[in-house]
Amino acid sequence: MNRKLLAFGSMVIVAALIGGCSGNTNKTDRFADSGKGEFLADAPEQVQNVYKQNCLSCHGGNLEGRVGPKTNLQKTGSRLNEEQIAKQITNGGNGMPSFGAKLKPEEVSALAAWLAGKK
């Protein structure tokens, strides 16, 4: 029971973290204003582009979370594995929109793999 509750709680956190706020029309400026992007700097170029275009407005340049503590992605890999993260990005839920229709499967996979390494 505790494992299921922990898994559900983790998914709720990631749901809130990964999506929802991508309606920003000036993402480049928001990235520049959100810190040095130290956490994002180690990401492959494809991941950086996807993140900047879809995730930055809610999660910030350092994955610090811009709309509350649940949007912090700095240790996402400690809470969820790569498959769980990919599912959350694709399906959304719990406050996060679905990106399954917006992102290519390889973009979801690359983003999930990178976030799974954040521990």
Q: Domains along the chain?
A: 2-116 (1.10.760.10)
The overall pTM is greater than 0.85: no
Contact predicate 43/116, CB 8 Å: no
* Portion of the chain with pLDDT greater than 70, in percent: 70
> What was the pLDDT predicted at 22?
45
What are the structure tokens assigned to 115, written together?
């976030």
Contact predicate 63/39, CB 8 Å: yes
- In this prediction, residues 21-38 reach a mean pLDDT of 46
Nearest-angstrom CA–CA distance, 114 and 6: 22
Report pLDDT digits (tens) over 61-104.
999 988 878 888 999 999 999 999 999 999 987 778 899 999 99
- In this prediction, residues 50-59 reach a mean pLDDT of 93
